[in-house]
Amino acid sequence: MSELTKEARLLETFASLADTMVEGYDVVDLLQRLVDTCHELLDATAAAILLADVSGGLDVVASTSEASRLVELIQIGAEAGPCIESYRTGEIVSVPDIAASPGQWARFRTSALELGFSSVHAVPLRLRETTIGALNLLRDQPGELDEQDKVAARAFADVATIGILHERSLRETTLLAEQLQGALSSRVIIEQAKGVVAYTNGVTIEHAFDLIRQYARSHQLGISQVAARLVDRSLRLDG
């Protein structure tokens, strides 16, 4: 992809994301679009977003692959890793060589290397003094992320943050808590839906999620809406 084409697609993506942030938009759908775009347009083998619940605990809300989701879950379980560090400090954490990462990240290092990842770039979802999660870009090659891609990743993280923490949420703590919890609850339903589709169609979990995502986009529905209908059996997908 040429730099001109890439720049045009990035601008098109930002415009599209801005259009989605209207009253009643699906937060999970927004975040899934963001990680998909990071995977497609940036030098990232996989991408994922962690979001904090009302008690500060983290969970995976969007990911581009089951491998990236597993890496994030291991970080959460171990309470250590670049994405956890980025969330806690509110700073960007870049690890150009996972094999040389700190000893306290041993569980993350082992799982990431086993799944084929060699470097990572974690960006906090932060607005002013409020940090609500982190965007993780995983790569199958060692080295730093390209400088232009770093700028784009920071911009994507800002879009994700603004999409969740708009002004009325910043002023109303209760509304913010409900919105974050709603996004996390939706993800639980999505995971259940992936299992339903995988079982009924005899496909992998990853393929099942692709089917859900394709149906949602082709019918202009939120991923959470489609997932809920799959779980209550009012919808069946044939793959």
14-53 tens-digit pLDDT = 776 666 566 556 777 878 888 898 888 888 999 999 888 7
For the chain, percent of residues with pLDDT exceeding 70: 86
Q: What is the pTM of this model?
A: 0.68
pLDDT at 231 over 70: yes
**CATH classification code of 3-165:** 3.30.450.40
Q: Which of 11, 136, 126, 19 is nearest to 67 (CA)?
A: 136
Query: How high is the mean pLDDT of the chain?
Result: 83
Query: In DSSP terms, which residues pair with 131 in a beta bridge?
Result: 126
**CATH entry 3.30.750.24 includes domain 173-239:** no
Q: Where are the domains of the chain?
A: 3-165, 173-239
Q: Which of the two residues, 31 and 123, has the higher pLDDT score?
A: 123
Cα torsion 215, 218, 223, 229: sign: negative
* pLDDT at residue number 188: 84
* Residue 239: band (very low, low, confident or very high) from pLDDT cuts 50, 70, 90: low
- Do 3-165 and 173-239 fold alike per CATH? no
Mean pLDDT of 55-67: 84
Q: Please tell me the distance from the alpha carbon of residue 214 to that of residue 164, in angstroms, as a whole number.
A: 24
Q: Please tell me the distance from the alpha carbon of residue 133 to that of residue 126, in angstroms, as a whole number.
A: 8
pLDDT tens column, 126-179: 988 888 899 999 999 999 998 989 998 998 888 888 877 764 454 455 555 666
Q: Please tell me the distance from the alpha carbon of residue 205 to that of residue 218, in angstroms, as a whole number.
A: 20
* pLDDT at residue number 178: 63
